[in-house]
Structure 1
Amino acid sequence: MPDPTTTPVPNPPFSPTLTYDERLNLQKMDELDFVIFSNAEWARVGESHARNIRVHWPDGHFTDGLDRHVSDLQAMFAWAPDTHIKSHPFRVAKDSLTAVTGVMQGTFSRPMPDGNGGFIQPTGKKFSIHMATVGLWNRQHTMDEEFLFWDNLTFNQQLGLA
């Protein structure tokens, strides 16, 4: 398989051995990344996330609650409004667990809040990084816990910040 960050890779078909619940959870993950996240449809995040979701971020911190998760996602789009995920080259499910890989792409085109009341001016640089999401799903087919993974050093280098 080519490197998905430089060469588009189509979504593989779902395994025929998936259960109904496993397939539904993976379909929700596709909808989440390809439509809801990529189009910043924040009012729809609750379709795949429980109200009390715990989200583990790549830098090691975690957040609790749907509202906090949505505000964190909105903050990403403040400085890179064209952020998107178009494919999941690898996706697996077993019982209430899903794992997908993808490529998150966008452009650092607007000022980025620095967390201290200031802003980092946009570099205009594009980013294309490997990401992975592991989800723990409940019986209502929403995630109770989500683990997000990407290489922050590569991300910051592509943004022109490292």
Structure 2
Amino acid sequence: MLDRRSLGAAAFGAIALSAVASGTSIAEATSDHRWNPMPDPATTPVPNPPLPKNLTREERAHLKTFDELDFDVFTHAKWDRLGESHAQHVRVHWPDGHYTDGIDKHIEDLAALFVWAPDTRILSHPLRLATNELTAVTGVMQGTFTRPMPDGKGGFIQPTGRKYAINMATVGIWNRRGTMDEEFLFWDNQTFYQQIGLA
């Protein structure tokens, strides 16, 4: 039995290994059986691949729901639809190590990105894996720092006008109702702040 709270960053690697072990061979992608790494998705557009083979109906549904979450709900700030992918009690782990509980707090945090970068979007999922109740998806989050950013102390950081495009990964733990009970978000904050001119 999995301890759902102890998965963390190791879940992403475990899912990748599981996909390879179950017969989704990397070598199948090339005719000469050599590894052809993809370019950096944040700097070179990578098309969204088809869903992996041999998924169960539930695994396929989780990945399709996640695509809809990022490509439509998040990208167009349709917060009234976040419940389609997130449980009301969802725990969300952020890249800086803190976590939040509950969908309302998660909506508040996501909406805060759009205050200073209203064109924030995710349009690409270069890698998508699923096994049982776990999904691991990589994406590219991008936008432009065009409006004042609250500094958390009552003031604002003036916009730099700089664009950002960062690679990210999300590991989700899904329940039987088809929503995530827990979500782990990963990206490099240093790269993020450098790109928007704050580091």
TM-score range, shorter chain: over 0.9
2:157 corresponds to 1:103: no
In the alignment, which residue of structure 1 is the partner of 2:111? 74
Identity percentage over the alignment?
Answer: 70
Note the 1:36-55 alignment, pairs <5 A: 36-55=73-92
Is 1:149 equivalent to 2:186 in the alignment?
A: yes
C-alpha offsets along residues 34-69 of structure 1, whole Å, 9 cap, x if unaligned? 110011111111100000000000010000000000
Q: Does 2:157 correspond to 1:120?
A: yes
* Structure having the larger proportion of residues in strand: 1
Instruction: Give the CA deviation at 1:16.
Output: 2.3
- Relative to the length of structure 1, the TM-score reads 0.99
Match of 2:45 in 1: 8
Q: Aligned equivalents of 2:141 and 2:96: distance in 1?
A: 16
Question: For residue 171 of structure 2, what is the aligned residue in structure 1?
Answer: 134
Which amino acid in 2 is paired with 1:140? R
- Tell me how many residue pairs correspond in the alignment: 162
- Structure 2 unmatched runs, 5+: 1-37
Select the structure of larger CA radius of gyration.
2
Aligned equivalents of 2:150, 2:103: Cα separation in 1? 22
Q: Report the Cα distance in structure 1 between the residues aligned to 2:118 and 2:81, rounded to whole angstroms.
A: 17
Q: Which of residues 82, 90, 99 is equivalent to 1:62?
A: 99
Alignment partner for residue 35 of structure 1, among 52, 61, 72? Answer: 72
Partners of 1:40 and 1:15 lie apart in 2 by 28
The TM-score, its normalising length taken from structure 2, stands at 0.81
CA RMSD, Structure 1 to Structure 2 (Å): 0.5
User: Is 1:83–2:120 an aligned residue pair?
Assistant: yes
Identify the residue that residue 21 of structure 1 maps to in structure 2. Answer: 58
